[in-house]
Amino acid sequence: MKDSEFKKFQHNVPNASRINSKGTNISSVGNYRPDISIKNNDDRVFLVLESEHKSDRKAFIGALVHAFKYADEQKSRLCLVFVMKETGNQTTVDQVSNNIRPYYIWLNPIANVTLTAVYIISDVEYIASAHANETLLASEFISRCIAL
């Protein structure tokens, strides 16, 4: 799913939360523009969604580092969800998770565990989840993902 389509998509956000941004800067001390950020009822960003339609490992790692940096600067607990387009056998959710897991493990203690979870889901599964009315981060949604 392209970024423009992803930003217009009907995301099933958890109760007592709302979409905060769609590609605009959310950082007060830098430049962090996730595809979608979601705030909780305490007015804090707790969930970031990134749509990746290319199989560029560097893009995933860059988004991971940005999320870690933002969570650390904000001293808030943050969950990151990658929604990716699988390209046959060349780039799958399994392959991407295996490629970026070492970076997540390496960065986690540095950032004082403020990035609480990272999930990767295919865009096909993300759309199926939305059509099934599954709320983001609900157990049904998470069962469709691979967790780092």
Tens-digit pLDDT profile for residues 66-99: 999 999 888 888 999 999 999 877 789 999 999 9
Q: Measured between alpha carbons, how far is 83 from 125 in angstroms, rounded to an integer? A: 9
Q: What is the mean pLDDT of residues 43-57?
A: 90
pLDDT of 124 reads 96
Q: Is the pLDDT of residue 113 over 70?
A: no
Q: Where are the domains of the chain?
A: 3-122+136-147
pLDDT of 81 reads 98
pLDDT of 48 reads 97
Domain spanning 3-122+136-147: CATH 3.30.70: no
Strand 115-122 and strand 146-147: pairing? Answer: antiparallel
Helix (H) or strand (E) holding 100: helix 93-107
pLDDT of 111 reads 65
Q: Which residue has the higher pLDDT, 139 or 72?
A: 139
Residue 110's pLDDT band, with cuts at 50, 70 and 90, is: confident
Tens-digit pLDDT profile for residues 6-43: 999 999 999 999 999 999 999 988 899 999 999 999 99
Expressed in percent and rounded to 5, the helix, strand and coil fractions of the chain are 35, 25, 40
Q: Measured between alpha carbons, how far is 110 from 105 in angstroms, rounded to an integer? A: 10
